[in-house]
Amino acid sequence: ITITLQTVPFSPVPRIHLSTSIRRWVRGAFRPNGRAVGTYLLTEGPWVAESPRPNRFALAYLGYNRMLRKVAWTGLGPEEILSHLRLSREFPLPDVLVKEPETWIDGRDGVTAAVTYHTTMPYHAVGVGLGPSERQRLTEWAEKAFLPEFRPAGDLTESELRQTLPLRVLKSLPPVPKKNADPEKIANIAERRAEISADNARLRREHLARTIGDGTALTCHVLYQTEQVRDGLIDAAERSLDLSEYRTADAHPGTWVWRAPEVEVRLHAVPLGALGGPLGGDAPPKRGKEHEKTVAGRRAATRDFLASLEISSQVVFVELEGKDAFKIRTTDPKGAIRLGCADADRVSQFITPEEHRGGDRNADPSPAGEGRDLKHRADAAWADGLRQVGMSFVPQHRLGDAIPERLNQLSFWIVRRNNSGTTRNKQFTPIAVLIRPDQDCIMGRTPDMSAWVPYPELLKGLTGQVRGSDLKTSEQQKAETARFVRQILYAIRGEPTVVLTRAQNMRRSWEWLSNNRIVPDKIQVGNGPVQALALHGRQLRLIRVRDGERDETAQWWAPVDEEIAGISKGLWKPAGAEDGNRLFYATTGKPSTHQERRDETKLTPHPGGMARPIANAWNPTLLEIAVAGCVPGDDPHAWAMYVQHQRFADDYRDALKFPLVLHLAELAHEYALPYGDETQARTEPGTDAAESASGDGDDPE
């Protein structure tokens, strides 16, 4: 149970958020490869004999020490100091704890110790999360402890606006009938599904052609390790764009070509080979300079390999083993391969040969189950590859004249990398993503770009940007963010535009977005004056969203009765919201992959039977939508619904966490790999990769 003190925009009244979750403990021997593992400790008395008062050391970390070549307490924290003192009770020895952690859970030598489970570890018999029914009962139980000094904030009320989804460009497929349905009905639905699939594929082909440029072929490379994944990606391309009847017979071995009326698609498959092996081979590189040097070598090898193929492509699909195959973080070659692809002027999309099933006992282990799983992953990888070349279906709202007809969507995002990863380098890059009503390709921009560029160019431009000394301090970063925001807003000041930002991402560098600063219909950029928003554009709107990170929005469920709660999607208003309210909340339904019952429980029996600890529970994000800036005559309620509509894009199977333009900005973070820029290497594939420079200094955060 976690209790936090929170605030909300436009209100001086603080609130308390209570969140509940499941913490799972490790049972059986384990090895903390590449990741410090938290260990909770509780003692029956003080650690040090004759201590003036009882001492309790609550949390320590276990990790593999490469210098000692064994598991040890990490860092120089209290656990390291205590392990060398003469104590009144025995401090747990790391090498014993990792072999038999369960013997400490019930206490041993006056110490209780429990090692926390992480999802990267092998299977755990307890599933993740708590269901809405159990969370409801826990919160109602805890509520009694707060009364009468604190009272519940009140239930959210459903928006009176019609709760509709946006207009779809791609049509939904009718559901597959049950096996015992009438054969004629089954045949009719199958025929209808085939017709709709063909129409959707034609629309995708047309949209793809406009995105990459009419008359331009989409050329892809597939760097594969298994023929199954290679064939799965080929099948995914044919399914997505309905290309089977357009496959040509004159393609060279290892090449597949489809010439559809709208667009030509070319796919070249080449074995990945040694590029997919662990960095450093049998000698894992150390974090820092040694790792950077190893990355530089694999980066250059990837770039040169793609250049040697003598076929230009826009996107590279790479089959690479998942994280489980690279237990030591510094051996994972994914980042180096992505950098090499960017140096070769290509975006990249990765797919694993086999899905990590984790604790899902309900997964089908049969070859047929694996085939279905591969089909799903291949379809997802192909769709993500198309999005990286700039193709996305923008949701079309149903709000009529409440929203301008020709509206730009603009998002700001701070791409930030600190030195907690395998490289010591850091990155701080403000970016902007733009969706224009008359432009089929998503556009992007960074401070060093003089104009908007297609989305794939934005992604490739983010690789290798090491933060310089001019962006080392918090004040320098705020100044750079302010300069960039002013530049972008000035460039679009004459066009109807809605700006979308995420509070947790931007407010450190744009303080105006903080709850205690933001004021309706005003704006402050950097250290400038607080001004009317209209001074930056008479048709400018500003909307800030906030999710549940750090429990900043409350955990949420939809009450059914005293025993059962569920999940309900839609737009919501705070309790007691008055006319002119600017604050709204939005939820989505459960994802298509979630099959558990709404009353599934872990700790207590549910009305339908016993508790099922194995069940995985999913809960919706309560997305806060603050309509901070409007134009006279606007209805903030309609703009909040517009943001909700933008979470339902046709080319995604489930609703997005953020509206599309913010989602695409967040995805750009995957390309923020600060290993040093290699401008020469990008123009001259035969040159050697330069060793990157290390960042220095502390992050302002």
What is the model's pLDDT at position 316? 96
What is the model's pLDDT at position 61? 86
User: Which residues on adjacent β-strands are paired with residue 259?
Assistant: 264
Is the pLDDT reported for residue 57 higher than 50? Answer: yes
pLDDT digits (tens, 9 = 90+) for 295-323: 999 999 999 999 999 889 999 999 998 77
**3-class DSSP state for residue 95?**
helix
What is the model's pLDDT at position 694? 27
Alpha-carbon gap, residue 567 to 590, rounded angstroms: 7
**Mean pLDDT highest for which of 150-164, 432-446, 590-604?**
432-446
Kindly tell me the burial class for residue 610, based on how many C-beta atoms sit within 10 Å of its own C-beta (0-12, 13-18, 19 or more): exposed
Q: Please tell me the least confidently modeled range out of 493-502, 595-604, 674-683.
A: 674-683
Decide which of 157 and 425 is more confident. Answer: 157
Average pLDDT in the chain: 84
Following DSSP, what letter does each residue of 143-156 receive, concatenated? HHHHTTTS------
Confidence of residue 680 (pLDDT cuts 50, 70, 90): very low
Residue 358: CB partners within 8 Å, gap ≥ 6? Answer: 119, 123
**3-class DSSP state for residue 219?**
strand
Angle 405-639-410 from CA coordinates, rounded to 5°: 70
**3-class DSSP state for residue 543?**
strand
Confidence of residue 81 (pLDDT cuts 50, 70, 90): low
pTM: 0.86
Following DSSP, what letter does each residue of 49-72 receive, concatenated? TT-SS-----EEEEEEETTTTEEE
Q: Please tell me the least confidently modeled range out of 164-178, 302-316, 676-690.
A: 676-690
Torsion angle, alpha carbons of 491, 495, 501, 507, to 10 = 50
How far CA 578 is from CA of 14, 135, 198, 497, 581, in Å, comes to 19, 29, 48, 27, 6
Decide which of 591 and 132 is more confident. Answer: 132
Is the pLDDT reported for residue 601 higher than 50? Answer: yes
pLDDT digits (tens, 9 = 90+) for 611-649: 788 888 877 889 999 999 999 999 999 999 999 999 999
User: Which residues on adjacent β-strands are paired with residue 113?
Assistant: 41
| 447-480 burial code (b ≥16 CB/10 A, e <16) | eeeeebbbbbbbbbbbbbbbbeeebbeeebbbbb
Is the pLDDT reported for residue 50 higher than 80? Answer: no
What is the model's pLDDT at position 599? 67
Residue 314: CB partners within 8 Å, gap ≥ 6? Answer: 212, 218, 219, 220, 346, 347, 389, 456
- The tokens of 55 are what? 């001492």
One-letter amino acid at 205 equals R
pLDDT digits (tens, 9 = 90+) for 505-528: 999 999 999 999 999 999 999 999
Classify the phi-psi angles of 107: left when phi > 0, otherwise alpha if psi is within -120 to 50, otherwise beta. left
What is the model's pLDDT at position 94? 84
* Pairing assessment for the beta strands 540-546 and 558-559 based on DSSP bridges: unpaired
Work out the average pLDDT over 660-674.
Answer: 88
pLDDT digits (tens, 9 = 90+) for 258-286: 999 999 999 999 999 999 999 988 888 88
Confidence of residue 79 (pLDDT cuts 50, 70, 90): low
pLDDT digits (tens, 9 = 90+) for 182-204: 888 888 888 898 999 999 999 99
Is the pLDDT reported for residue 683 higher than 50? Answer: no
How far CA 162 is from CA of 64, 78, 520, 660, 699, in Å, comes to 56, 57, 25, 21, 46
Is the pLDDT reported for residue 487 higher than 50? Answer: yes
What is the model's pLDDT at position 90? 65
| Whole-number percent of the chain with pLDDT over 70 | 86
Confidence of residue 570 (pLDDT cuts 50, 70, 90): very high
Residue whose C-alpha is closest to residue 556's, from 545, 569, 539, 543: 569
